Structure 1
Amino acid sequence: MSASSYDPVTFDIIQNGLEAVADEMFAAQRKTSMSAIIYEVLDLGTGICDANGEIAASGAGIPAFVGVLDKAVKRIIEKHPPQTIRPGDLFASNDPYWGGVTHLNDMILAMPVFADGRIVAWTANIAHWNDVGGNVPGSMSSEATEIFQEGVRIPAVKLIDAGVPNQAVFDILYVNTRLPDFLRGDLWAGIAGVRIGERRILEMIEKYGADTFTAAIEDFMELGERRARAALANLRKGVYPFEEEQDDGAIHRITIEITDSDFIIDLRDNPPQKGSSNSSREGIEISAQLAFKAFTDTQAPGNGGFFRPLKLLTQPGTVFHVVEPGALGYYAEVEIRVFDLILRCLAHHFPGVIPAGNFASICGTVIGGKHPDTGRHYTIVEPQLGGWGAQQGRDGNSAIFSGFHGDTFNCPAEVAEARYGLDVDELALNPESGGEGQWRGGKGISVRYRVRADDNFLSVGYTRSRVPPWGQAGGADGSPNYVEVLRLGKAAERYAFATNVPLSKGDVVHVVTGVGGGYGDPRKRTSEAVRQDIRNGYLSAESAERIYGVRG
């Protein structure tokens, strides 16, 4: 039966209902998880895929995580033919070489939904687990050269078989972590999330029928494709190259080609894979999808149909297409570099459409050791807030996560102090200069964690630590991201990437994230806007007079 034979109002109810189901999955997982990285920071994502694994609806959370789910489900289907899958099955994968896409800390759970004896959908989620083994606490080492050094690998296996847990897999997970209680709680929270999604979809199918349900998903995909192609038709056609130097001196190159039918991103001419700062091809595809949607139609449904015009070209063995057994611990910094590179290329060739550069780093901060009060091991895994770039007519946002990281939050100081073995002495806006313009860049943050016990450690992975966020139309560049370790009576130690830096009682870990790039000539900023910056603490009176010629 064709889609035109169905009631479009029913389709709309089902399509919006899928979004509501994905949001309920998210809420269930958030409320039952053990780790603050999930229930406070919201380092997770939920979604619903169609029977073939195409993303049909997404919940809240990290956009780059939602983009993982369809790729993971497709790999599960590839490994487990549909005739071997039964109602009540539940699959797990964290291995980037088996559909895990990201790194071993991120566990994907996926569950088939059966109706009329066939799979009609999949519910899926992904969340960051604080420790999955490997050679360092937190499982993220900038010194890793192979994935074997990064933790336990779960290669798209059946975790629950027709409702019966595969206890062997659970046991393997529990003994391959320094935080077994937290892993156990986070795992079962994820299982609860996909199961509540299955229940709600079956309720929907009972009301409308399996055929109507699947037809509504197909119609939703077609709507996504129509919106993408309509946006593509309005873009200037051509070939648009760009290259950018990175913090380590490497050059990242991109060519975007826009045709009548395709939006092609070519990343083949790039450095070879190295260390743990690599990404799977699927991860780079997510970066391309996020940038494509941001540039074309932000209001369209972000389903599999919308991304049909997008084509990605990569070269195996490069930093953007790692091959086994390459390490991927800091994959996120590679993906966000590509996301930012695509936007910067488009900003260069389509002036005024894209804002100036933002701090553009996850700024992953891992601190851990023996808790001074309980004696138990703790690990804090914190992404950081930063400054966004300005655009014509608007200052940049201050102290929020990057667009790549999405609708997530920082861990409150009170929660961090209660759960972890440290004090939070400061959480303030970064007072450094940078990002001046007719419209100024948003401010980053300054955070000071004071260590409360000996034998602690610090591991970090920050980019944009040397090459700052870029200004536009005469606006100034922003400021870099970095971490300092402050020890009494000693010079500050500055880091961007580091693993297992020793920390002792009283040491301070000082996190500084970047100010976003400015837009337009700073001399054109209004006097009232400058004075408002002074009142808000964004700017000193001395800097106001020196940069803008305005006396406070």
Structure 2
Amino acid sequence: MNKHDPITLEIIQNSLRSISDEMFSTIAKTAMSPIIYEVLDMATAIVTPEAELASAGSGIPAFVGALDKSVAKVIEIYGVENIHDGDIFATNDPYYGGVTHLNDMVLLKPVFCKQKIISWTVNIAHWNDVGGKSPGSMSIDATEIFQEGIRVPAVRIFSQDEPISGVFNMIVCNSRMPDFLKGDMWAQVSALRLGAKRIIELAEKYGVDTYLSAVEGYLKLGEQLARNQIKKLPDGIYNIQDLQDNGCTLAVSMEVRGDELHIDLTNAPVQSSGPDNLSRDGTLLGCQMALMGLIGDREMANGGCFRPMIVNTKQGTIYHAVEPAPCGIYFETMIRLNDLLWRCLAEQITEQLPAGNFSSICATIMGGTHPDTGRHYSIIEPEIGGWGAGQGFDGVNAMFSAMHGDTFNCPAEIAEARYGVTVGQMALNDEDGGAGEFRGGKGITLDYVIRNDQSFLTCAYTRAKEQPWGLLGGHCGTTNRINVVRTSGEVERHSMSTEVTVNKGDIVRVITANGAGYGDPKNRKRSAIESDLKNGYVSQDYAKQVYGFE
């Protein structure tokens, strides 16, 4: 068969996407933890023998781009000659190919055909608890990575398709929820095996050379797509600085050179004593997400898309931390970077890109003793919020941030059955803010009523002080935070807190930001304001004051 036949190549390329999605569905149907099977806090991918992303399945954008980096680290540590058919490797350590933080476990399997590696199947999922000083393995006050859980530095956990019991048991033993961890791990293993089987069937059907040619063609297509989008940007240097909730200023410099994008992040704060650090790979991932947002074709995400981008970092900064810096809440630094890159472009290309959104993962971790079962429970959830408006459209209500793209919020029925809480309400955030000719989207208000004493709350929210940014006269949005409403009526505000004690009857009220507006509010159409009033998106006083509505 002619390995350059375009129809055959396209069949193989589409098959790769289908295989990635089938792996994703396998994990969703077999995992133990709601954070995986309901929220879908996971991702799957196929990676080339040279450690480039060949095809991405559904899943969190911030995970998909991590998986090729994990493969590269395993190859670096072991060498191709020491990797065998039937091996499976695991890593969660951001300094050893884990990229993100210790809760996110990456499993990798080399796919052999005719005695050589033709691909890797890879997946990643957020595990509820991997040990460490705090339940849920995330804490705002961690000062070194050793406090955040067991480090799995790209180790072999299967050999000849059998688990290496010592390694396997050591990982399970370090969790406060070992049965959930074991179930989630086996779900990931089954997805790897299924993906490998499908790839071998594909390569045997069309021939290994044709398969590899199709993969390289797919990467070149992704590269060309990215270069075409970058070329649409005006050449030049784009600079921006942005004040953060903690009082520091983050800066970024971007240069467009024809069909290449250069990002300079060397002017960054020194690495943090807290857990908000990014590995170098994590920073690359944040930049890649911004580029894919610009490209706008989620299905085309592959390693070729990232070839035209060059990212410079400085070792020892928050964008290139060195061990043993903790990384447990890396995601807030990553989403802040993504937001900063987006704003850097949006303020120059206002007709193409929207205003600022709630841009936080709004990580909410609660746990304690389940009042019905007497067992430890743990809630680990990202939250949905409001997006910014753009030219010709209002912002989207109640969607996940750019990092969490394909995930879902946990249904109230599941939360109440599996967790020790009652869901009191879930409604759109009725606060005023984000006015503009086109208004920002609405965040949410979500109440969890605690059902047992001595439960705890940990949270990591940014955009809790500095609001989402407006464009062309649009107003800023509102802020993210949690209000703990005590049974006494006292209200405590939290955004970055660890193990706050909450007791029976207390309400943990999640409030996510409304997105920012676009354009002068005075230009908003009367019919749109009337609709906003009818739906409760604005108050009568706000409509009069900001929109001039009588």
Aligned pairs for 1:498-513 (under 5 A) are 498-513=497-512
Does the CA-based 8 Å contact 1:227-1:300 persist in structure 2? no
**2:220 aligned residue:** 222
SS in 2 for 1:243: strand
Q: What fraction of aligned residue pairs are identical, expressed as a percent?
A: 50
Distance 1:5 1:43 in 2: 37
Quick check: 1:132 aligned with 2:158? no
Which region of structure 1 is more displaced relative to structure 2, 32-41 or 259-268?
Answer: 259-268
Does the CA-based 8 Å contact 1:287-1:335 persist in structure 2? yes
Does the CA-based 8 Å contact 1:243-1:253 persist in structure 2? yes
Distance 1:44 1:535 in 2: 38
Cα-to-partner distance string for 1:205-249 (whole Å, 9 max, x where unaligned): 121111110110011111111222222333211111110000011
Equivalent AA in structure 2 for residue 56 of structure 1: A
Aligned-pair distance for 1:304? 0.9
**2:403 aligned residue:** 404
Q: 1:106 aligns with which of 95, 104, 107?
A: 104
Which region of structure 1 is more displaced relative to structure 2, 258-267 or 406-415?
Answer: 258-267
Aligned-pair distance for 1:550? 2.5
Does the CA-based 8 Å contact 1:47-1:57 persist in structure 2? yes
Task: Call closer, same or farther: CA 1:71–1:299 in 2, change over 3 Å.
Answer: closer
Which region of structure 1 is more displaced relative to structure 2, 83-92 or 16-25?
Answer: 83-92
Q: 1:210 aligns with which of 185, 202, 208?
A: 208
**1:356 aligned residue:** 355
Cα-to-partner distance string for 1:112-164 (whole Å, 9 max, x where unaligned): 11111100000000000010000000000110010000000111011100112
Cα-to-partner distance string for 1:38-71 (whole Å, 9 max, x where unaligned): 0110100000001111000000010110011000
**1:54 aligned residue:** 52
Aligned-pair distance for 1:299? 6.2
Equivalent AA in structure 2 for residue 384 of structure 1: E
Does the CA-based 8 Å contact 2:432-2:539 persist in structure 1? no
Cα-to-partner distance string for 1:397-456 (whole Å, 9 max, x where unaligned): 000101221111100111100000010101001111110111000000001111001110
Quick check: 1:432 aligned with 2:427? no
**1:446 aligned residue:** 445
**1:383 aligned residue:** 382
Which region of structure 1 is more displaced relative to structure 2, 483-492 or 173-182?
Answer: 483-492
Aligned-pair distance for 1:543? 2.7
**1:546 aligned residue:** 545
**1:366 aligned residue:** 365
Does the CA-based 8 Å contact 1:224-1:300 persist in structure 2? no
**2:169 aligned residue:** 171
**1:28 aligned residue:** 26
**1:482 aligned residue:** 481
Aligned-pair distance for 1:10? 0.3
Does the CA-based 8 Å contact 1:87-1:114 persist in structure 2? yes
Task: Name stretches of at least 5 consecutive residues in structure 1 with no aligned partner.
Answer: none
**1:242 aligned residue:** 240
Distance 1:446 1:300 in 2: 32
**1:413 aligned residue:** 412
Task: Call closer, same or farther: CA 1:299–1:195 in 2, change over 3 Å.
Answer: closer
Distance 1:168 1:511 in 2: 41
Does the CA-based 8 Å contact 2:229-2:294 persist in structure 1? no
Distance 2:25 2:55 in 1: 15
Q: 1:272 aligns with which of 252, 267, 270?
A: 270
Task: Name stretches of at least 5 consecutive residues in structure 2 with no aligned partner.
Answer: none
Does the CA-based 8 Å contact 2:358-2:480 persist in structure 1? yes
Aligned-pair distance for 1:542? 3.3
**2:305 aligned residue:** 306
SS in 2 for 1:97: coil
Task: Call closer, same or farther: CA 1:234–1:197 in 2, change over 3 Å.
Answer: same
Does the CA-based 8 Å contact 1:228-1:297 persist in structure 2? no
Aligned-pair distance for 1:79? 0.9
Task: Call closer, same or farther: CA 1:203–1:393 in 2, change over 3 Å.
Answer: same
Aligned pairs for 1:279-298 (under 5 A) are 279-296=278-295, 298=297
**2:514 aligned residue:** 515
Aligned-pair distance for 1:88? 1.1
SS in 1 for 2:452: coil
Cα-to-partner distance string for 1:489-545 (whole Å, 9 max, x where unaligned): 243111110001011111111110000000011111111111111222212333323
Distance 2:442 2:275 in 1: 29
Distance 2:481 2:445 in 1: 10
Distance 2:496 2:125 in 1: 23
Distance 1:259 1:317 in 2: 28
Quick check: 1:65 aligned with 2:63? yes
Equivalent AA in structure 2 for residue 341 of structure 1: L
Cα-to-partner distance string for 1:446-501 (whole Å, 9 max, x where unaligned): 01111001110000000000000001111100001001111122431111100010
**1:120 aligned residue:** 118
Distance 1:273 1:416 in 2: 36
Does the CA-based 8 Å contact 2:397-2:442 persist in structure 1? yes
**2:154 aligned residue:** 156
**1:81 aligned residue:** 79
Distance 1:226 1:547 in 2: 45
RMSD value, Cα = 1.3
SS in 2 for 1:278: coil
Distance 2:368 2:238 in 1: 48
Does the CA-based 8 Å contact 1:290-1:339 persist in structure 2? yes
Distance 1:437 1:310 in 2: 34
- TM-score computed with the length of structure 2 as normaliser: 0.98
**1:188 aligned residue:** 186
